[in-house]
Amino acid sequence: MSHDRRSHNKQKKRIRRKRLVTFILLPILFLTLSATAYGAFLYNKAQTVMSESYTPVERETSREKVDPKEENTSVLFIGVDDSNVRNFDSGSRSDALMLATFNEKRKSVKLLSIPRDSYVYIPELGYEDKITHAHANGGVVSTIDTVEGLLDIPIDYYVKMNFNAFIDVIDALDGIEVEVPYAISEMDSKDRRNAINLEPGYQELDGEEALAFARTRKQDNDIERGKRQQEIIKAIMDKSASAKGLTKYADVIEAVGDNMTTDLSFSEMKSFIDYAVEGTGLNVETLSLAGSDAYIDSIYYYQLDEDDLENVKETLSSHLELTEAMNTADNHEYQDEQNNYQE
């Protein structure tokens, strides 16, 4: 376990004292890394596309890189509505936030959806506000800092994608199949009202329809919205891993690369191959954050339930094995102090 991960936890304690989408990349980029000519073509294409998407960010606290092949890893997925309608404004709010933690030994993944209206402390602002405003005020770095503070775990990597990627990836796969719970009438990616209309039932959705399915919350809430987004991600994974999806990978890689930025290098992405080869057998557990509707100064917020938040924090920390690592580090530190004392 890296020294930076241990120091991160201690730094969080000292501070206390004084919210679509590498899940798409995993089956797409790595299931095809074979010795075939098509596999070689895809490998080279993915390497080029990912190199163009590589965008590291400057963090105030320097950290050691965590190797996904050797260590447990966390990745924050930021879905931002900065499409061409909004002129790709870097100050756009995040419309979807998902945190994935990867346990290297168990080859398991936990996927947490963070409601966009969650009332949380945003370090960049210096006060509590909707978590969606973190990206509007400080971009990726502000969003990472906010999620780290909320969940008390380090964020190792980020993947940021806009709505165009969401649509293009699903269209490149010739659609996905999901269960639509009720009749939906939503705007499309160009903000045309009631342009997308879906009837309830299990059905195949194209990119625009899937986006409407993922973003609607007229008849329920952010929690159910997050569950629908998780369902879509699983559907993308299943379709990508299918024989039908194999022939679509070149188009999907292109769609992802055109609409994504990440601080995962191509070599680091390759480290996730052990998860990808699990295919449909990959153990993915979805999590959500319980809460209630609240109005503060006549503004709507999603007030997180503190007890449930603590449980989620403990679950994620345990999955990353941070508590065990911190205890080991503390024991080593204590032993060093004892040795120094005896000397």
Q: Angle of helix 3-17 relative to helix 139-151, nearest 10 degrees? A: 80
Q: Tell me how far apart the alpha carbons of residues 78 and 90 are, in angstroms, rounded to a whole number.
A: 13
Other CB atoms within 10 A of residue 126 CB: 8
Residue 341 lies in a domain: no
- DSSP class of residue 86 equals G
Residue 154 lies in a domain: yes
Residue 172 lies in a domain: yes
Residue 22 lies in a domain: yes
Other CB atoms within 10 A of residue 157 CB: 22
Q: Tell me how far apart the alpha carbons of residues 219 and 156 are, in angstroms, rounded to a whole number.
A: 35
Residue 66 lies in a domain: yes
In terms of DSSP H, where are the helices of 155-203?
A: 163-172
Q: What is the per-residue pLDDT for 17? A: 38
Domain around 29 = 3-331
Cβ neighbors of 58 (< 8 A, separation 6 or more) are: 141
Residue 163 lies in a domain: yes
CATH of the domain at 35: 3.40.630.190
Q: Tell me, yes or no, if the pTM score tops 0.85.
A: no
Give pLDDT tens digits along the chain (343 positions).
555 565 555 454 444 433 334 445 544 444 444 445 667 777 788 888 888 889 999 887 656 778 888 899 999 999 887 655 554 455 688 888 999 999 988 888 999 999 999 999 999 999 999 999 999 999 999 999 999 999 999 999 999 988 777 788 899 889 999 999 999 999 988 889 999 999 999 999 999 999 899 888 878 877 888 888 888 888 887 887 775 656 777 788 877 777 889 998 888 887 776 676 655 567 888 899 999 999 999 999 999 999 999 999 999 999 999 976 544 444 444 344 445 444 5
β 73-80/283-287 pair status? unpaired
Written as one string, the DSSP assignment of 278-327 is: TGGG-EEEEE---EEEEEETTEEEEEE-HHHHHHHHHHHHHHTTHHHHHH
CA angle 2, 143, 23 (to 5 degrees): 70
Q: What is the per-residue pLDDT for 216? A: 86
Residue 340 lies in a domain: no
Count of domains observed in the chain: 1
Residue 274 lies in a domain: yes
